Amino acid sequence: MAKRKPEEPLESVAVDTSPLSKKVRVEEVSDEKLPSGNTGQANGAHDNATTHDISTEPRNGTGEHEEEDAESDVEDDRFPVVPLRQSAPIEGYGDLYLDTMNRSLLDFDFEKLCSVTLSNINVYACLVCGKYFQGRGPKSHAYFHALEVDHHVYINMETKKVYVLPEGYEVHNKSLDDIKYVVDPKFTEEEVRKLDKEPRISIDLSNKRYRPGFVGMNNIKANDYLNVVVQTLAHVSPVRNFFLLNQFSQTTPQLAVRFSTLVRKIWNPKAFRNHVSPHELLQEIALRSSKKYSLTQQSDPVEFLSWFLNNLHLTLGGSKTKSLSSIIQRTFQGKLRVESQAITAKSDATGDRLRFEESSTIATNVTPYMILTLDLPPVPLFRDAVESKNIIPQVPLGTLLQKYNGINASERQSHRVRHRLLHPLPQYLLFHVKRFSVNKFVSERNPTIVTFGSGRGLDMSPYVEPNPALHPPGESIMYEMVANIILDTTSVATGGGEDSNAADAANKAVGADAQKVAWKVQLRDKAVSNSKRTDLPEWMEIQDLWVERAEAETLFTREGYLMVWERRKAKPQPNGAEKAKAKA
């Protein structure tokens, strides 16, 4: 086709001629390069290829071959070229895509499962949308997610390494350290020592202030019974310090690993949010307990605490026969002497059926304990005419502890029983106030208030059998309250009055079908009292996501269900030289 002259209009150019035809290019192959025995065949093929000319077929501007070329071009545009895998970013582009990360959407509290396959193996989290995907290879779901929605930054939930997909290279940037810390917070021994000495205020991504260790916990449906137990154990110093510092191996059962992760997130001073979620721990607990404790059904906090402590003890390598073989037993376990005697039909002239008869055989047994049960006196059936209807009976904590003085007896089935605590007492005492009772006909809740002052001084020496070898006689054994799990009757949804509130709370606590029971926990910040700061409250009350101030003088006005008391450290005794100097 002749070239159009500049002065010649485009419409006047004839288009009846076609461009020159294309020929297949075939390289000339010499006979020397052909293998022996195939020379003739190769020459024949070569001749056919060189003599065959595409121009012999009819071709015009709307020919068949041009349509095929056009279709092939469309197909090439439809399927983009797969990007090349890189072992390192191109020089000068090391921080590429990091500005697309959205920290406000990242939530690493939920179980690490691929959103497509629901697998927990080799899981990566997208740092743009927060979703989990399995793998990062060319055929993985994270790879396809990067191509489809243009999300390029991913973190491995096991190794905490950050990669850019689909290129596949690892990113080394200091700006990612805060995300890696939130995924798996780490504490040093120096930081742990300061937790009970220096109070700290942190700020999350929403510019909200929070105190590490006193954060809300998500109630997914009905797991508030678990929330208060976890919050309580997270403030028992030996247990907390153990799970903050200990590095678990790959063979450690997941119950201890997930509880450790949750405790570290509760005390995280660099959190993105001022609350955490126990979803991972709940999934493991439901699996180990055969769904006895789950997130959809309310349970008793004391029953769950007993199950949880025993299972933690076993997962940490504790023995079923050897006492004090784990951090759990070294913190909570003590010894109790129990004396029992069969109740006769007629006791003596006094008519006291619970009075021990010395002539009969008394069975004595020493048993370990981790939770001490306190029995409330029965609520009077008939009230005085002058007494107000709203008055709630009260009883001092010391009166309930008389059960363990070795003198007062209680009735257990057909036996009279008396208890006595033995030295040494554990560092932490767990008191369960038994409020609920159930029989064949009715379930009841005892609303009696247990008073204990401000919770700063409880002398346990009157309830412990003297042992001069372990404890000097006459010296007090002082305890201070650390946590108090309470029953919130004001949050119980009912359709009746005061009586229906009590019945519904009792029925639900013992497992019957009734309305929801709300549990709260009151926690003491030892760092505030040790630092003697007056601008921060010493006690905090937490119910699920709600965290508010609590006054020490009014703690006993609530219906306590589980109390945690810490043994006060004895002051070091001065030696002879110091005593002489003091006298001088």
Measure the CA–CA gap between 216 and 315, rounded to whole angstroms.
27
**How many whole angstroms separate alpha carbon 560 and alpha carbon 485?**
6
Please say if the pLDDT value at position 475 is more than 50: yes
Q: Which residues contact 138 (CB under 8 A, 6 or more apart)?
A: 82, 85, 166
- For the beta sheet containing 123-126, the strands, ordered from the edge strand earlier in sequence to the opposite edge, are 132-134, 123-126, 153-156, 162-164, 169-171
Segment 395-429, tens digit of pLDDT: 999 999 999 988 888 888 788 889 999 999 999 99
pLDDT band at 259 (very low <50, low <70, confident <90, very high): very high
CA distances in angstroms from 345 to 84, 342, 362, 415, 417, listed in the order given = 91, 10, 17, 11, 16
Dist. CA 135–CA 141, nearest whole Å: 7
Give me the residue spans of the domains in the chain. 19-54, 98-182, 353-380+398-567
The pLDDT assigned to 362 comes to 82
The upper half-sphere exposure of residue 194, i.e. CA atoms within 13 Å in the direction of its Cβ, equals: 11
The CA distance from 243 to 231, in Å, is 14
Residue 337, by phi and psi: left (phi above 0), alpha (psi -120 to 50) or beta? beta
* 74-88, 160-174, 254-268: which is most confident: 254-268
31-34 contacts, C-beta under 8 A, 24 or more apart: none
Tokens 């002497």 map to which residue? 337
**Which of the four pLDDT bands, split at 50, 70 and 90, describes residue 349?**
low
Say whether pLDDT at 7 is over 70: no
Per-residue pLDDT band for 227 (boundaries 50, 70, 90) equals: very high
% the chain with pLDDT above 70 = 73
* DSSP strand pairing (275-276 vs 216-217): parallel
Distance CA 452, CA 400 (A): 11
Please, how many CA atoms are within 13 Å of residue 113, restricted to the half-sphere of its CB? 10
The answer on pLDDT for 389 being more than 60 is: no
In the prediction, which pLDDT does 390 show?
58
Rg (CA), the chain: 38
Q: One fold for both 98-182 and 353-380+398-567?
A: no
Identify the pLDDT of residue 35: 46
- In angstroms, the CA 209 to CA 452 distance is 32
Cα–Cα distances in angstroms (integers) from residue 405 to residues 36, 399, 463, in the given order: 109, 11, 4
69-102 pLDDT, tens digit per residue, is: 544 444 444 445 556 666 666 665 557 789 899 9
Q: Which amino acid is at 438?
A: V
pTM: 0.78
pLDDT of residue 511: 45
* Range of weakest confidence among 66-75, 108-117, 241-250, 308-317: 66-75
Higher pLDDT, 439 or 242: 242
* CATH code for residues 353-380+398-567: 3.90.70.10
DSSP 78: H
DSSP assigned state of 382: S
Q: Say if residues 555 and 522 touch (Cβ distance below 8 Å).
A: yes
Tell me the two tokens of residue 291.
Answer: 């769904």
- Supply 499's token pair: 């009586």
User: Does the N-terminal peptide bond of residue 9 adopt cis geometry, omega within 30 degrees of 0?
Assistant: no
Q: CB count, 10 Å around CB of 270?
A: 13
Strand 394-396 and strand 415-421: pairing? Answer: unpaired
User: How many other C-beta atoms are found inside a 10 Å radius of the C-beta of residue 379?
Assistant: 14
Q: CA–CA separation, 465 vs 420, rounded Å?
A: 7
What is the CATH architecture of 98-182? 2-Layer Sandwich (3.30)
